[in-house]
Each structure stands twice: as structure tokens, then as C-alpha cells.
Amino acid sequence: MEQPQLEQSVADGVATVVISNPAKRNAMTAGMWRALPGLLDSLAADPRVRVLVLTGAGTTFCAGADIASLREPGDEQQSLAVRAEEALAAFPKPTLAAVRGYCVGGGSQLAAACDLRFAEEGALFGITPAKLGIVYPSSSTRRLVSLVGPSAAKYLLFSGELVDTARALRTGLVDEVLPAGGLGERVAEFTRVLVSRSLLTQAAAKEFAAGRTDRDAYWAEQARGSGDTTEGVAAFLERRAPRFTYGV
């Protein structure tokens, strides 16, 4: 039987992390939660990586935490999930969740921690602690509220019901919905766009969007030293594709 694991690869500026636990619809085991922050640290430090895509093996994104591991003593499982979620949210480069099938519980927690979420028609989303008598973490709740608003967040958390892609798109839980079979092509197309843009702009925007209002001076200094602004303006005037070098 294939062992639960997080698979990773890097190609053309895009790091892909695949949640793989096919026997349990890609449920996250304690070991997988533990491994994710370190894996993200290594990819963040890799100059080849400009964008991160998180997805699931086969036809499912992630059916949540492996319920068997919830029997571990204390709040260890939830603490591991929160640390992994926070590490993903703090990843300094653009992140995109590519969702097929079930995106439930801890799967939705990870998807919400990404910057963007693209889903294939037929995907189902749910945040299910109310079905298990679990208190959803405050940091995860705040992130969900900031993404979909208080009312939609309460609907998901109070009921634990699964919602389809139409409702997920309407509430802002996902950014794009693709027809069956079209997700991979669209993710590849969009990540090529992201790789071609300035990582300086993206990294600064990511921090500012997260509420880091104390970083204006830092990013102004980075802009002066990077040469990206000079290159971007020159490329525009010369009608050519820019060659940004920040982070390379």
C-alpha cells in the first residue's frame, strides 16, 4: 500500500506539492502535518521557485485530517494543522490551491491558507468540526472570515455542510471554476503568467494584504536595490518581455 506522503517537484519556476494518501482520500496524517512546514521552508529558500501549487493526488484534493490520528493525546493534531496552515500562509511567494473532488476539513484549511484557489467543477468544500465536536482554531476562523465574510463563514462552520463550486465561487472561497478536465491546463497557464511577473511586486503585495503596514520602508529599499522597476519600465518602452531578477 502506498505510504501517505507529500510529494514535491520543481519545474519552470513552479513548485508543486501533492498531498498523497489515496487510501484515505488524501487525508493528512500527523506525519504529513509535521512535514509540511519544513518542506515549505526548503522551497521558499530555493531560487528556482517563483510560485507554489498545492494539489491532491488523483481526483481528490484532501478529505481533511486522518480521523484516526485525532485520538492522539491532547491538542497535538490541531496544533500540527495550525502550524502547517500558518507556514503555508506565510510562504513568501504566490501560492495556488488546485482543487479537484473533496476539499474538506483540514483540506479546506490548507486551501484557505493559499493566496488563490482554482477548482474543477464537481469539487465539494466543507469545514466540518461541528460534526466532530471540535473547536475550529481562532486563527483559521479569522482567515476564513477574511476570505468569505462573517455570514458565509458561519454557514460553513455552524453546519459542516458541503458546498459546491457555484456557491464557493459566489462567496469567494474559490477564485476560478474550470470545466472537468480543464484545471491542469488553466493552472499551468496562470502559473506561467505569475512566473513572468515581478516577484518583488508579488512579495510586497502579499505582505501588505496580510496587514503588514510596517514594511513600506523595507520594500521601498528592496525596490531601489533590485533593478526590477528599471527593467520593467525599460521593457515596457522597448515593447519586450521584462527580465525581472528579484529573488533569482
Angle of helix 199-209 versus helix 216-226 axis, rounded to 10: 180
C-alpha 116/C-alpha 197 separation (Å) is 16
Q: How far apart are CA 96 and CA 117, in angstroms?
A: 6
Domain ranges of the chain: 5-193, 199-238
In the chain, the DSSP E strands lie at 5-11, 14-20, 51-56, 95-99, 102-104, 116-120, 124-126, 176-178
- pLDDT, tens digit, for every residue of 48-107? 999 999 999 999 999 988 876 655 554 676 789 999 999 999 999 999 999 999 999 999
**pLDDT tens digits, one per residue of 2-58:** 789 999 999 999 999 999 999 999 999 999 999 999 999 999 999 999 999 999 999
Helix, coil or strand: residue 24: helix
Question: What pLDDT is stored for residue 2 in this prediction?
Answer: 75
Across the chain, mean pLDDT equals 93
What is the tens place of the pLDDT at every residue in 155-195? Answer: 999 999 999 999 999 999 999 999 999 999 999 999 999 99
Whether the predicted pLDDT of 198 surpasses 60: yes
Q: Which CATH number fits domain 5-193: 3.40.50.300, 3.90.226.10, 3.40.50.10860, 3.40.1190.20?
A: 3.90.226.10
pLDDT exceeds 60 at position 120 = yes
